[in-house]
Amino acid sequence: MSTPVLELSGISKTFGAVRALSDVDFQVGEGEVVALLGDNGAGKSTLVKVISGAHPADSGGVITWDGKPVSIGTPADAQRLGIATIYQDLALCDNLDIVGNLFLGNEKLHFPGTLDEVEMESRARELLDSLSVRIPNLRVPVASLSGGQRQIIAIARSLLGQPRVVMLDEPTAALGVAQTAQVLDLIERLRDKGLGVLLISHNMADVRAVADRAMVLRLGRNAGDFPIADTSYEEIVAAITGAADNPVSRRSERTGASALATEDK
Amino acid sequence: MTQQTPVSKAPGRGGAESVAPKRDPRLLATVASPKGWLDAFKRALRGGDLGALPVVIGLILIAVVFQSANDRFLSPQNLSNLTVQIAAIGLMTTGVIMVLLLGEIDLSIGSVAGLAAAALAVLAVKQGVSEWVAIALAVGLGLLVGLVHGFIFAKLGVPAFVVTLAGLLGWQGLHLYLMGADGTINTSPSGTIALLTQTYFVSFMGWAIAVLALGLYVVSVFLVERRRRLAGLPYKPLTGVLFRAALLAVPILGGVWVLNQYKGVPLAFLIFVGFVVALDLILRKTRYGRMVYAVGGNAEAARRAGINVDLIRISVFGIASALAALGGVMLTSRNFAASVSTGGGEELMMAIAAAVIGGTSLFGGRGNAYSALLGGLVLGAIASGLLLLQMNTSVRFMITAGVLLVAVILDSLSRRGRKTHARGGA
Ligand SMILES: Nc1ncnc2c1ncn2[C@@H]1O[C@H](COP(=O)(O)OP(=O)(O)O)[C@@H](O)[C@H]1O
Ligand SMILES: [Mg+2]
C-alpha cells in the first residue's frame, strides 16, 4: 500500500475514569479507504475526535503526518494539516441554498464585505462536477434536498479546504438504499482523487463495497486490521465481538442466512 | 434489515464518467417570453414559494374595498398621510425583522422607542442640545440598550424574550423617570426634529430619485447577469431584466406621481424606504447578512463554520434597538412632542405584526427587508381606511388580528410544506 499520510501509534484517551482508547494504532494512506469498525462504545467516534482535534489525545502517543511528528490539539490544527471531518449530524443551514452552504464561513468577496455570488456559484458548479454530483439548481434551499444529497453537500463542503484526509462518521446511517449508493459513489471518487478516507459505518455491505481495509476496535483497543478483499465477513465479525462463537455466527448457522446480513445498529 | 447496497464497480472507476454538462438538462429553463414567465410563475405557485404575492394581492383587495366604501381612500392626500404615518412603526419593523431572522423576538422595541423619544425631548428642549446631536444621542442610546440585551442573551444564555420582556418594563420605567413631572415635552415646531416628518420633496426631486433608483437597479442587475453569462452560469436575459424593472417601475413611478399631486414625496417615507433598501442590500449582498441568515437557520452549523454567533446576535439586537429608537424620534417628530405614552401603546404589536404579515417567518432564517414596507402598508392602509369610515380602534384591532392570524397560518403551513418536502424525494 502507499505510504501513510496520517499515522497514529500508541494513542490513548481517558474521560475521567473511562478509558475510551488505549494504545491504539491507526494509519491511512493516499487513495485509501479505511473502514473503522467496532461495537457501540468501542471508541470509534472518540478516535475520530482525537484526529479532528475535538478531543486531543492523552500524552504518550505519536501522530505523524507525511512521516513527520505533529500534534493535534485543536480542530484548527487538524484543518491546517488537511484533515476534514463530516459529523453524523450534518452541519448545514436548511434555509440557505447549496452555494451558500458550501461557502458558509468561507465566502468569496469582492468589495470589502460584499459577496461574490458569481464566483462562488462557478466554483460550486466546478466542485460538484468534479465529483460527478448532479444537482440541477444550486440555488434551492438545502431543506428541499434528499438526505443523500444533503450528505453529499456536507462532504463537498469539507473538500473546499483541500484536505488530504476525510473522516466520515456514519455517513449513510440515516439513508435509504439509493441515497446510500450516491454517498458510496462519492467516497470512491474521493479515493480516486487520492484522498485518504476514514469511514465509520455499521453497515457491512457498505464497508465491503468501498473500503480497502477494515480496522477493528474493541473496548478501546486495536482488534485487527484486515484487507477487505481477502477477509471473510465472519472473520471481521469475530474481531468486532471478540469471539469466533458470537451471536452473529450462531444466528447465521441457525438460519443459514446470507453472510452479508447487516449487523444491527 | 438486510441492506445490500448497489455500487457501480466498473473497472477503471471514475475515468469512464462522461463530463457533466454545464447546464443540467433537468433544470427547467425560464424561456424569455410571456408564456415562459407564466410557466415560471405557475411552478413557483405549485412549489408553495409565493414570495410577496399574497401581500400584494391583499393590498390590492384592501384598496378596492376601502375605495368603494369611501372614494377619499385613494386620494393623493390620504395616501400621502398614510406614507408618513407608517414611517415610525416601519423603522421599528425593519429592526424586528433582523431579530426574527435570528429566530428570536424583541419585546422591548416599543419601550426603547419611548425611551429614545424622552431622551430626545429632554436633551433638545431641557438641556438645549442641538437637535441634530440630540437625535444622534437618542439613536445611540437605543444602540447601547440593544447591545446590552444582545449581550445578556448571547453571553449569559437568557432567552431573548425574557431579556426583552425585562427591557419592556425597565426602559419604560426609565422613560417615565426622564419625563419627570411633565406628562409631555413639546419640541420646536420648526426644528430639525419636526422637519423629519414635515419635509416634502418638490416634484422634480421625487421623479429624479425614482428614476435614479430604477436606473441603478437595472444597471446593477444587468451587470450581474452579464457576469453570470460570461461565467457560464444560468442567467436572466436582458428582456427578463427589463420585464422585472417594468414591474418594479409601476409602484415606484405610480407612487411618486400620486405623492406629487399632494405635497410631494415625504422625507419621512423616503427615510423609511431608504432603511428598508439598505437593510435588504446588507442582508442579501454582504457577508454579515449571510451570517445573520445562517445563525437563524442553524446556529450550531454557523458556529462550526467559524461564524462568531455571539457577535452576530449582539449586533442584531443592537441594530434592532437603534432602529426602534429612530422610530421613537419619528414619533416625536410627528407629534411635535414626546409624552409619557410615546411608544407605550400598540407600536410593539404593530411592528411585529407588520413583519410577519410582510412575509418574515417567526421560525427564523426566512424573510426579507421588504416585509417591513409591505406589512407596514397593509396595516397602515387598514388603519387609514377604517378611520375614513369612522370605525374606531376596536374594529381595527380585530381586523388587524385577523390579518395577522392569516399571515402566521401561511407561515406555519409553508414551513410544514418544506419539511415534508425535505423528507421525501430521492
Ligand atoms: N465526552 C465523553 N465523556 C465521557 N465519556 C465518553 C465521552 N465520549 C465518549 N465516551 C466514552 O468512551 C467510550 C467510547 O465511545 P465512542 O467513541 O462514542 O464509541 P463508538 O463511536 O465506537 O460507539 C464509551 O464508553 C463512551 O461512554
Ligand atoms: Mg459513534
- pLDDT tens track for B185-199: 999 999 999 999 999
Q: What is the pLDDT of residue A188?
A: 94
- Per-residue model confidence as pLDDT tens digits over B213-267: 999 999 999 999 999 999 999 999 999 999 999 999 999 999 999 999 999 999 9
Strand partners, B322: none
Cell of B361: 417567518
d(CA A234, CA B10): 26
Q: What is the pLDDT of residue B41?
A: 64
Q: Do residues A229 and A236 touch, judged by C-beta distance below 8 A?
A: no
Count of other CB atoms within 10 angstroms of residue A178: 12
User: Closest-CA residue in chain A for B309?
Assistant: A105
Task: Write the DSSP symbol of residue A115.
Answer: B
Confidence of residue A82 (pLDDT cuts 50, 70, 90): very high
Q: Do residues A8 and A198 touch, judged by C-beta distance below 8 A?
A: no
Q: Taking residues B390-395, what's their average pLDDT? A: 88
Q: Do residues B44 and B360 touch, judged by C-beta distance below 8 A?
A: no
Q: What is the pLDDT of residue B11?
A: 40
Smallest CA-to-CA distance from A6 within A36, A24, A22, A30 is with A30
Q: Do residues B112 and B325 touch, judged by C-beta distance below 8 A?
A: yes
Mean pLDDT (chain A, rounded): 88
Percent of chain B with pLDDT strictly greater than 70: 86
User: Closest-CA residue in chain A for B228?
Assistant: A118
- Per-residue model confidence as pLDDT tens digits over A191-203: 999 999 999 988 8
Provide, as residue numbers in chain A, all residues whose Cβ is less than 8 Å from the Cβ of B7: 181, 184-185, 188, 209-210
Least confident of A249-263, B29-43, B77-91: A249-263
Q: What is the pLDDT of residue B8?
A: 41
Q: Which of residues 96-135 of A touch B (CB under 8 A)?
A: 96, 100, 104-107, 109, 113-115, 117-119, 121-122, 125, 128-129, 132, 134-135
The ligand placed nearest to the CA atom of residue A49 is: 1
Count of other CB atoms within 10 angstroms of residue B348: 25
- Per-residue model confidence as pLDDT tens digits over A213-262: 999 999 999 998 999 988 888 888 889 988 766 666 666 666 654 444 44
Q: B33 pLDDT exceeds 80?
A: no
- Per-residue model confidence as pLDDT tens digits over B265-304: 999 999 999 999 999 999 999 999 999 999 999 998 998 8
